[in-house]
């Protein structure tokens, strides 16, 4: 007699058309000497070498859908990578990133030899108790890369060969596809699963939240938006029609001329600390940049002296947090709120949140999935990486409490504050960082506070910092603890870092292994840029000598 697991395995073998899978594998053959690792960013690589992986992602999405009995999403994108790259991100039922255990399945399936794929599929079904008799439904989106449409078709082939149904949304931002998945799996309680539904939900919330400020005849806000020559430009243009005329947006790098992410976009601005190519910026003009798939955003301006000022994820988190704290005080609600950062967060932002706003700050490992998970532990969890990827999460209980107060509260002042919180909830894309949603929330807060970008920037002053990279023979020699803030191995490395930090004022430094290459990333901050540079360089030397650095020894910064 077969047990439950045995019967399921036998039924799955009957359900899975191995001949059809084998036939399609010939059309999407695995290229030799290619290895893909599924991580926070999904799969990424040169578009010409990932065709086979896209087909297999389609297979995996069907299994995940059958296991969860939910709609699963797959976004074809490589985010802020160069235009020649591409990849895929799988989206779980509530619009969240793929579960860690399934990341391992994705990596194994993508790298299996063609003749081993069927065994891997069967093994996943057995380990995850996947019943192939369940229906599967996949929603698909893609960015504007030249390779995206062809790779989407490979993905669709994978979905179809296992009998999955699908809906192709075509050109959408990554956050929009996350939104669609959540809408479908919450029976549209979260929103209507169409682009129009997305635009209407966000624009209505923005209009309701800002109507008092925007009704003032002299209130006009102008913003230059660098869309990285990506999908964000198309979708922001579509959304313009839903927004009030007092929000004046000038879209640059819209893809009509330049290449995706080339000398533009949030990652370029953050790394190079200067405006993107294609944007003419005048003194004190408010500007922002998306990344290629519009899930990151950073703000910036140039002052009267020509000095560039970046308002990154840390600045965004503190602005949003101060706004939410004010509303919570007005409502009288006793809800827990915390900010989740990574070790890369500027020390000044952490001090401002804890000492001035009196909001607890927690640290998580680098990677949005780690921040998102930790932020779910509070009634209101604000998380942003310094690169500009982040959002705000409200627990179900907190949402219900806020919406109830907005409807039933007798005190006018408390009710109005609760309504503002309710509209804030509706304006935020809680599934993932969303450049469009985050931009509208920032613009709403600035309008309500009657803040210029300079006043926002003046909330606190960033400590000067420097990031460096050291090539090593094996990045796995570096092990860390305390959410990557302290090195465990090699021996003596952390002692050396601690000693170096004592030589500088307001100093902090840490090292962590790269997630993508044999390199160690070094971060340092101090009271002056000169000291931050020197500390980063000295820590890099310690890494080079203790972690078997390769190539040229780190050179001093000129």
**Catalytic residue annotation:** 79
The helix/strand/coil state of 83 is: coil
Q: Is the dihedral of CA 360, 365, 371, 375 positive or negative?
A: negative
Residue 502's Cβ-count burial label (10 Å; 0-12, 13-18, 19+) is exposed
Question: How far is the C-alpha of 67 from the C-alpha of 64, rounded, in Å?
Answer: 5
Question: How far is the C-alpha of 122 from the C-alpha of 16, rounded, in Å?
Answer: 9
The helix/strand/coil state of 536 is: helix
| Distance, first Cα to last Cα, the chain | 75
The helix/strand/coil state of 66 is: helix
Task: Retrieve residue 229's tokens.
Answer: 């020559």
Question: How far is the C-alpha of 508 from the C-alpha of 536, rounded, in Å?
Answer: 10
Task: Retrieve residue 260's tokens.
Answer: 């995706």
Question: How far is the C-alpha of 3 from the C-alpha of 9, rounded, in Å?
Answer: 10
Question: How far is the C-alpha of 304 from the C-alpha of 312, rounded, in Å?
Answer: 20
Q: What are phi and psi of 354, to 5 degrees?
A: -75, -40
Chain centroid offset of residue 357 CA? 25
Question: How far is the C-alpha of 369 from the C-alpha of 355, rounded, in Å?
Answer: 27
The helix/strand/coil state of 135 is: coil
- Nearest Cα residue to 32 out of 107, 112, 97, 91: 112
Q: Give, in order, the Cα–Cα distances in Å from 537 to each of 214, 328, 397, 511.
A: 49, 44, 48, 12
The helix/strand/coil state of 195 is: helix
- Nearest Cα residue to 21 out of 10, 13, 9, 32: 13
Task: Retrieve residue 326's tokens.
Answer: 């004010």
- Nearest Cα residue to 140 out of 117, 157, 125, 124: 157
**Residues in contact with 313: Cβ distance below 8 Å, sequence separation at least 6, in sequence order:** 298, 345, 384, 385, 386, 387, 388, 389, 390
Task: Retrieve residue 288's tokens.
Answer: 């922002």
The helix/strand/coil state of 489 is: strand
Q: Is the dihedral of CA 273, 277, 282, 287 positive or negative?
A: negative
């Amino acid at each position: 007699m077969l047990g439950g697991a045995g019967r399921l395995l036998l039924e799955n073998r009957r359900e899975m058309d191995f001949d059809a899978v084998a036939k399609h594998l010939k059309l999407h053959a695995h290229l030799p000497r290619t290895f893909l690792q599924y991580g926070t960013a999904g799969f990424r690589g040169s578009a010409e070498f990932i065709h086979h992986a896209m087909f297999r992602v389609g297979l995996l999405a069907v299994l995940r859908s059958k296991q969860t009995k939910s709609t699963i999403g797959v976004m074809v994108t490589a985010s802020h990578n160069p235009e020649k790259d591409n990849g895929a991100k799988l989206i779980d039922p509530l619009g969240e990133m793929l579960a860690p255990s399934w990341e391992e399945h994705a990596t194994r399936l993508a790298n299996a030899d063609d003749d081993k794929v069927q065994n891997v599929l069967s093994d996943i079904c057995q380990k995850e108790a996947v019943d192939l008799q369940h229906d599967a439904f996949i929603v698909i989106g893609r960015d504007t890369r030249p390779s995206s449409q062809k790779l989407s078709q490979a993905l669709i082939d994978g979905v179809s060969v296992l009998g999955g149904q699908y809906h192709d949304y075509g050109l959408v931002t990554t956050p929009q596809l996350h939104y669609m998945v959540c809408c479908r799996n919450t029976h549209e309680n979260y929103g209507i699963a169409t682009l129009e539904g997305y635009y209407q939900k966000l624009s209505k919330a923005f209009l309701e939240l800002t109507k008092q400020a925007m009704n003032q005849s002299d209130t006009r806000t102008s913003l230059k938006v660098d869309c990285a020559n990506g999908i964000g430009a198309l979708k922001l243009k579509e959304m313009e029609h839903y927004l009030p005329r007092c929000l004046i947006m000038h879209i640059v790098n819209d893809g009509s001329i330049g290449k995706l992410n080339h000398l533009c976009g949030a990652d370029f601005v953050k790394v190079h600390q200067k405006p993107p190519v294609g944007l003419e910026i005048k003194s004190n003009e408010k500007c922002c940049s998306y990344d290629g798939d519009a899930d990151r955003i950073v703000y910036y301006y140039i002052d009267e002296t020509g000095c560039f000022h970046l308002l990154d994820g840390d600045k965004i988190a503190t602005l949003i947090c101060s706004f939410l704290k004010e509303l919570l005080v007005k409502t009288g609600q006793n809800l827990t709120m915390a900010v989740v950062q990574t070790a890369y967060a500027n020390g000044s932002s952490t001090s401002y949140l804890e000492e001035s706003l009196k909001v607890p700050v927690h640290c998580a490992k680098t990677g949005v999935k780690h921040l998102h998970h930790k932020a779910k532990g509070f009634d209101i969890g604000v998380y942003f990486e310094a690169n500009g990827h982040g959002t705000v999460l409200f627990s179900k209980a907190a949402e219900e409490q806020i919406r109830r107060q907005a409807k039933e509260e007798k005190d006018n002042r408390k009710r109005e504050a609760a309504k503002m919180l309710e509209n804030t909830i509706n304006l935020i894309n809680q599934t993932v960082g969303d450049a469009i949603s985050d931009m509208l929330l920032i613009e709403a807060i600035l309008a309500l506070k009657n803040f210029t970008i300079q006043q926002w920037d003046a909330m606190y002053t960033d400590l000067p910092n420097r990031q460096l990279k050291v090539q090593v023979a094996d990045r796995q020699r570096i092990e860390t603890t305390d959410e990557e803030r302290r090195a465990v191995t090699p021996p003596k490395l952390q002692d050396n870092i601690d000693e170096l930090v004592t030589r500088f004022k307001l100093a902090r430094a840490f090292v962590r292994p790269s997630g993508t290459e044999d390199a160690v990333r070094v971060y340092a901050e101090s009271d002056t840029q000169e000291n931050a540079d020197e500390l980063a360089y000295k820590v890099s030397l310690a890494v080079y000598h203790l972690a078997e650095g390769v190539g040229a020894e780190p050179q001093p910064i000129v």
